[in-house]
Amino acid sequence: MSVKRIEEVAAEAVPDGVGVSKQVLISAEEAPNFAMRCFTIQPGGSMPLHTNLVEHEQYVLSGSANVVIGEETYTVEQGNVVFIPAGAAHTYVNNGSEPFRFLCLVPNREDKTSFISS
């Protein structure tokens, strides 16, 4: 068991994103079933359209963004919960004026990110 302050966890740039960083809050080495990460997308930032082998459970901490899941576009904001099924194409765009921050929990299973060219 461990307790951490999110502010004390180092953030790393997400190479395929624009203005995107990630903090690994609970890693696969720390918990047997799920990993917890915190993503921050700066104003004007985005993640390209992609799929993953594992599902994503997300909780929006602050800001707002347009999230595309499959064929649907959602505007999400603080307090929203987002579920992205395994294999669903998805993308994030922060058109707002403040950082978009969300927790993302994923199962500790093999994952592969596949980017979809437009």
- Predicted TM-score (pTM) of the model is 0.95
Contacts of 2 (CB under 8 A, 6+ apart): 30
Tell me if residue 7 falls in helix, strand or coil.
helix
- For residue range 41-81, list pLDDT tens digits in order: 999 999 999 999 999 999 999 999 999 999 999 999 999 99
Q: Is residue 1 over pLDDT 80?
A: no
> What confidence score (pLDDT) does residue 117 get?
85
CATH class belonging to 6-115: mainly beta
In angstroms, the CA 82 to CA 60 distance is 8
- Cβ atoms of 28 and 86 within 8 Å: the answer is no
In the chain, domain spans: 6-115
> What confidence score (pLDDT) does residue 102 get?
99
